[in-house]
Chains A and B, each alone.
Chain A
């Protein structure tokens, strides 16, 4: 549609959209604004411009939130999970998309069912099992849990990318004497690369932000993620909201920066599969 019929409709549309944008940005703006203020100033008015810009809120938040360790843990966890999901997921997605096995229907159905499985359904035995195996506070073990949770939807998303590849390409490579593995790694993977990147981005975001598993399995001082660290630190220092908002900004910043650069891929990946033509 190229514009509305009459001016009133169009004006009204912009007013509603403007209000929606305001509601969305308002809490984020409050976070940024108050992250630069001293605690008494926040209490005087959360809306006022800072009298003196307090960058030390950030350094104190970084220290009190133990963010040097926590960011490193989050980064390792995120990278590990991305590698696990993309590695195992792309093989499965390929096999399911091309119906390479007889039971593809069963496996697809099972994976669709686990996409929506409640974490509570497997959390308790998993926790006590991990405890017995000494895997609590182990970042690598937790990345395997994330892999299990994020794989099903990643596979469904990757599958659509594999489905879009013409079958002739595969057949041609096989005739040229390539092995099945070579077809997968040398022909298919380079073509579906954008799909893998999208999945990596979404899985990375979800891992970075994840709360329930992280707070249950990674409680030790040395193994906490940035999210868990912020959660604990924000429960302790509830009088200095300036410092707290600085901590919040630090945790959010890498995610938002990445989102601004790669918004299209983010939006496509996260909304993909939900839109039915």
Chain B
């Protein structure tokens, strides 16, 4: 009887996710423009990807993105979270403030940064010009476009991590912290020997999620640069999107999607294992 309870969830999930996912795997071996009859081409799409400079650029950018997001926001969030633990006043207010960016839609955040910060006419960058401080809009230069987009995503992301780490830190037994304090531990010793080991599993989980999300990153790149200029900020997901909907090369887009999924799959394996360890599975 209880099997029936699963029908709505599974029917929706299988038809929206699983079936199209299987079709994507199949499409990766076909040439298809989305309209006419698909033609089987074997590994041609993958060979085309291997010979495509944009693909390697995008893959490299995803790896750079992963490296950035595994270090800067996690480090900063850990610092801020443990500092929240030190103070007694203003914790709730600060948490609410740090959480704000994650609830603001990516399009809004992107436009505010483009117009009010990076823009050489209407933004802070233009305003600084009066004082002889010359900053170019990072989104318009091939050398900096990816980092410009990453800066905005960092702003959007780190506070969420800080709140998660703070919630985890609060579960570190008070006696351990008290003992370290009595032994005269400094703030960084406390962090190194008590706080960080105490929330190791949360940090690990967030690092796994970071790897997964870094290979999925789409919104900020698509909205702010569309992968440009000259593909300098292209990532795999924007490349796949462009291939499917602008170039109407759905087969090659599907092949790109499989590459994205491959990285996700490895990380997902660790994710499920981490969840299972806690008795969820």
A: residues with CB less than 8 A from B are 1-5, 9-10, 13-14, 16-17, 20-21, 23-25, 27-28, 30-31, 34, 42-43, 45-47, 84, 87-89, 91-92, 94-95, 100-101, 105, 107-109, 111-114, 116-129, 131, 144-145, 147-149, 151-152, 155-156, 180, 184, 205, 208-209, 211-212, 216, 227, 230-231, 234, 238, 241, 244-245, 248, 251-252, 255-256, 259-260, 263, 266-267, 270-271, 274-277
Contact = CB atoms under 8 A, between A and B. Distances in A.
A95 B17 CA distance: 21
B244 interface: yes
Contacts of B260: 118, 120-121
A155 B9 contact: yes
A114 B257 CA distance: 15
A31 B245 CA distance: 32
B223 A109 contact: no
Chain A, interface SS category: helix
Given A25-B97, A107-B6, A148 B13 contact: yes
Contacts of A47: 124, 127
Nearest to A99: B2
B177 interface: yes
Chain B, interface SS category: helix
B226 to A, nearest CB: 11
A212 B121 contact: no
B16 A145 contact: yes
A128 B186 CA distance: 60
Interface string B96-109: 11111111111111
A31 B168 CA distance: 33
Given A101-B6, A231-B223, A46 B116 contact: yes
Interface centre among A4, A208, A212, A275 (most CB of B within 10 A): A275
B148 to A, nearest CB: 14
A21 B100 CA distance: 10
Given A122-B20, A255-B104, A91 B5 contact: yes
Interface residues of B, number: 111
A107 B107 CA distance: 35
A180 B1 CA distance: 9
Given A17-B87, A121-B260, A276-B201, A205 B121 contact: no
A244 B123 CA distance: 13
